[in-house]
A and B are shown apart, each in its own frame.
Chain A
Amino acid sequence: MQQVQGGDVYTGRELREMFTAATSWLEKSVPDINALNVFPVPDGDCGTNMLLTLRSTVEEAYRAPDSDASEVAQAMARGALMGARGNSGVILSQIFRGLAEELGGKGSFGGREFAAGLTQGAAVAYKALSHPVEGTILTVARDAAVAATTASAQTESLCHIVDAAVSAAKESVANTPSLLPVLRQAGVVDAGGQGLCVVLEGVLQYLRGEVEQMQYRQPQVMSSGLPNVSRIVQLSAEREEPYGYCTEFVVEGRRKLDRDKISSRLADKGQCLIVVGDEKMVHIHIHTFDPGKVLQYGCSLGILHEIKIQNMDDQYRGFAEMVESQSPPASVATVAVVSGDGLTQVFQSLGVSAVVQGGQTMNPSTRELLEAVESVAQDKVILLPNNKNIVPTARQLQGLTRKKVRVIPTETVPQGVAALLAFNYDADLKENVSIMKQASSAVKTIEVTRAVRSAVIGKVKIGHKQAIGFVDGKLASVGEAPEEVLLRVLQGLEMKQSELITIYYGKGAHRSEAEKVVGLIKRDYPNVEVELIYGGQPHYHYIASVE
């Protein structure tokens, strides 16, 4: 590395060395990345594919004269194209193509060229896919490139620029489940994105001169801030549709190759089509039920190299077994009856294994409950009916399934939340039933709704459509506005022992109105914490817990 004013200059040899370092860094992460692989097909080979792609890239780089950056970059792009495997591997190969285009004719390079190469690579990768999907390695490549470009406006130091790219890539990987629902459902980040992040991290360690130390470190898999809901359920369910064959090869064209034309010819032959390369040579990747037809078409274009065909259904079975062996720590599943999108999210975010929609005035059938119990992977299931009228139905299940089913007779949503929070990952069924029962009985529930007809309860007269408030199922207050009733009920409670009020506002309530109530409660009880959550439940304007 030569020091020049403002930044460092790197040669072809260093370009090769930085990706050699990245290859050994990625190698350590392969099993972790394989375990994340659920998109586009959960075949558990993403890490392996990226490693093989990178190896081929670096091997080719060693065949080029190493002083010249342009020569090495071209060789790497060629090696990546020839050796690319799988979706993420092919997209990774485009980063090298971007670098090669940017470094073309340059004997050496610095931070700005590298940033421009990443940008070009991300752009080429997006173009290579007929339907680019966000929340994948593509997004991570673009976010890393944007961060590198921004950094390159302030510094010419390659090390600082790659540092910025790595930080952005990490955040981007952590964010992939918010962009791609299949990742969120599986409770994982994108495997390809994680792979790219590790590759950039490897480059960074080389630039920092930490190649020695790398052997004692281990890349870390990023996690999203999102709840890990039901990974096992997703993967254990019997698949009805087969995935077919992952088919890949390189065509060395007899005549000029036209990528767009090849793409449109293959578009209806399968899924996940990617065609990359140039006029002389293209790499084709497709998931198809008929690899023969695809190969036949390839033969019509030129000579085929690096032909790889894999049965993805076999791969999927192996992957499902691997994931099952790494299952979440709990041996006991939980199933809750909940209504409202907000409350459903609350329960899912607390790790409930399955949710059955239902509640006041819409009790689920025995069959619906049974289906939920059968859908979870575990043989021991705890049911949270969260409504007085659903408890008897829930109790019938034990006789209808081979699984061991226990019911915590939660009569309200707050009781269900309290029970779920107390769930102990280490405990067995019996112990969990006991601690969850205890926890659910320690919470006080307030429910506010409007009367569907006029009535007299005890000595209290209730008019049609008046707001009524209950404490643990007993009528406590009657008034005109639900907010007024909620406040009055809360004010009527003994608060000395209480430290936390959680208010779930329903479909019929407005956040702004609810916030006013929260303000008034906080004024009256400065030592009590109040949390306002969107429940989205029908029927009840407000459900609140006091604990």
Chain B
Amino acid sequence: MWGFGVVRIVTDSPADIPPVLAKELGIVVIPLYVRFGSEVYRDGVDLTPDEFYRKLVTNRSLPVTSTPAPGEIAQVYDTLAEETEEIVSIHVSSKLSATYEVALQAREQMKKKCRVELVDSMSGAMGEGLVVIAAAKEARKGTGLEQVANLAREAALKSHVYMCFDTLEFLRRGGRIGRAQALLGSVLKVNPIIGVKDGETHPYGRERSRARAIDRVFDFVKSLPSIGELAVEHASTPDEAEALADRLGGIFPRERIYMSRVAPAVGVHVGPHVIAVSALEGQ
């Protein structure tokens, strides 16, 4: 299906690429691990988002995430090396996860001959996903390794993700709250809007209701200088995501908006009620 000369794209499960789209664009997704106590699951492989969010609400112990071992990623590269000689491997922000570091090690451990360019997306969720999609589309045109990798690196600088939260408890307990700590501890009930900026968790603002938080995200997207790609994703509120996408359809072609689901490896840190919009600037 993919010619031998075509650059192939590898990413990780926190990119939230819908499985159908991954298949269509030939993107290989490496699962992170999600662990509830002694039960270990491969994100999106042994554990679907539905199962995960159900467990997240009912389980007493908080799950944790861990990266795959370098050997596992090396294996993915080696397997793919039978179909291509060039791989661009795009990963969740190195400030939020060690996956990028592991991929660096994996490249050293490869057995097959294949060039691998690594890209730090400096984002997560569809903020990372849109970078991956842009790279995959470019690769399909037959563009060379360096150009695809550079395109991904440039896209990483123009990718935004805005996520509406009901609670910051998961972000706090998972230790990923970073600068969004400024939004913790409000006496009033608030709905924070948090994203990833320069690779780190970033506080965008807060509103007194979920509806208004979503309004604010809409305004953020609307005020971007340009929109090349747009994605809407949710943890467990599909209808809300559809409604938001319909609304975004007023400023960007509705049929081009990617609809996705927040993967368990991200859900561990953001909780079961988030809704997010990601946008990639460009034409």
Contact = CB atoms under 8 A, between A and B. Distances in A.
Interface of A: 167, 170, 174, 187, 212-213, 216-218, 220-228, 328-330, 342, 345-346, 349-351, 417, 421-426, 499-500, 502, 529, 531, 533, 547
Given A174-B172, A218-B98, 18 more contacts: A187-B181, A213-B66, A216-B102, A216-B105, A220-B176, A223-B177, A228-B185, A328-B179, A329-B202, A350-B186, A350-B190, A351-B182, A421-B206, A421-B207, A426-B197, A502-B208, A531-B189, A533-B187
Describe A's contact surface by its main secondary structure.
loop
Contacts of B204: 424-426
A353 to B, nearest CB: 11
B13 to A, nearest CB: 16
Contacts of A426: 197, 204
A221 B179 CA distance: 12
A227 B184 contact: yes
A328 B105 CA distance: 34
23 contacts: A174-B172, A213-B66, A216-B67, A216-B98, A220-B174, A223-B172, A223-B177, A223-B184, A224-B184, A225-B169, A227-B186, A228-B182, A345-B187, A421-B190, A421-B205, A421-B206, A422-B205, A424-B204, A425-B179, A425-B202, A500-B209, A531-B189, A547-B208
Interface of B: 61, 66-67, 69-70, 98, 101-102, 105, 169, 172-177, 179, 181-190, 197, 202-209, 211
A425 B207 contact: no
B185 A222 contact: no
A170 B189 CA distance: 25
A188 to B, nearest CB: 10
B37 to A, nearest CB: 8
B185 A349 contact: yes
A329 B182 contact: yes
Nearest to B70: A216
Contacts of A212: 69
Contacts of A187: 181
A443 to B, nearest CB: 9
B163 to A, nearest CB: 15
CB-based closest 8 A-B pairs: A220-B175, A227-B185, A216-B98, A349-B187, A346-B187, A226-B185, A216-B102, A349-B186
A431 to B, nearest CB: 11
Nearest to A171: B173
A424 B102 CA distance: 35
A258 B69 CA distance: 53
Contact of A216 (B101, B206, B208): B101
Nearest to A212: B69
Contact of A533 (B188, B190, B203): B188
A529 B101 CA distance: 46
Contacts of B105: 216
A424 B205 CA distance: 6
Contacts of B173: 170, 174
A547 B215 CA distance: 14
Contacts of A227: 184-186
A220 B175 CA distance: 5
A227 B105 CA distance: 39
A330 B197 CA distance: 14
Contact of B209 (A220, A346, A423, A529): A529
A329 B66 contact: no
Contacts of B69: 212-213, 216
Contacts of A531: 188-189
Given A216-B67, A425-B204, A222 B175 contact: yes
A350 B208 CA distance: 12
Contacts of B203: 329, 425
Nearest to A529: B209
A328 B209 contact: no
A217 B66 contact: yes
Contacts of B174: 220
Nearest to A531: B189
B21 to A, nearest CB: 28
Nearest to B206: A421
Nearest to A163: B37
A533 B208 CA distance: 14
Given A216-B101, A216-B105, A223 B187 contact: no
